[in-house]
Amino acid sequence: MDLRQYIRDIPDFPKPGILFRDITPLLREPTGWAEVIRRLAAVCDRLEPDLIVGIESRGFIVGTALATHLHKGFVPVRKPGKLPGEVIGIDYTLEYGSDRLEIHSDALADHPKVMLVDDLLATGGTASASAELVTKAGGQLVGCGFVIELAELAGRSKLPEGVPIESLIIYD
């Protein structure tokens, strides 16, 4: 199945010059969405994670669906101030500034094997920071999965060396 048929291109969003790859038509199509989860589950079958970690916010959609399908737990990586209780955080730079991500301090305390997921791999800043945060929180990163990858932005090169990366749709 060609999943690209369910991706909508929106020019000049969120700002002029950006071509936004919109997954909402894919989410609306049960057959296409089921195929996304089936393919990511096949990756997990090989990598055998204990938990799925999803990056705010569309990574929550991908991650919770995948975790439910696999009968695994889900852990969110969130923007600052969104998680109650004690957190571990990481500051990171983006092409347009800086940001911070957080995870519950006890979420990965028992050193689980983790599959990190999100809807999109672009420049790699957020994914790289999330991967580092997983390790900092005690998790063992065994793989990363993305619905879409924008290969020309070289985000893959910012992820930890030797960690398997699976992108279901790659735009060159």
> What's the pLDDT at 120?
98
Q: Residue 96: pLDDT above 80?
A: no
Tokens of 35: 């195929």
Q: Residue 95: pLDDT above 80?
A: no
> What's the pLDDT at 52?
99
* Identity of the residue numbered 83: L
Confidence class for position 35, pLDDT limits 50, 70, 90? very high
CA distance 102 to 145: 19
Catalytic residue among 4, 39, 58, 100: 58
Residue-range domains of the chain with CATH: 48-171 (3.40.50.2020)
Average pLDDT of every residue of the chain: 97
Q: Residue 79: pLDDT above 90?
A: yes
DSSP E strands, the chain: 8-11, 19-22, 51-55, 73-77, 87-94, 97-104, 113-121, 140-150, 165-171
- Contacts of residue 133, defined as CB under 8 A and 6 or more positions apart, other chains included, come to 77, 88, 89, 90, 101, 102, 103
Report the pLDDT averaged over residues 64-75: 98
> What's the pLDDT at 94?
79
Give residue-wise pLDDT tens across range 110-163.
999 999 999 999 999 999 999 999 999 999 999 999 999 999 999 999 999 999
Q: Let me know if 149 is a catalytic residue.
A: no
Residue among 157, 142, 156, 162 nearest 44 (CA) = 142
> What's the pLDDT at 97?
82
3-state secondary structure of 127: helix
Q: Let me know if 21 is a catalytic residue.
A: no
> What's the pLDDT at 23?
98
Q: The whole model's pTM is what?
A: 0.96
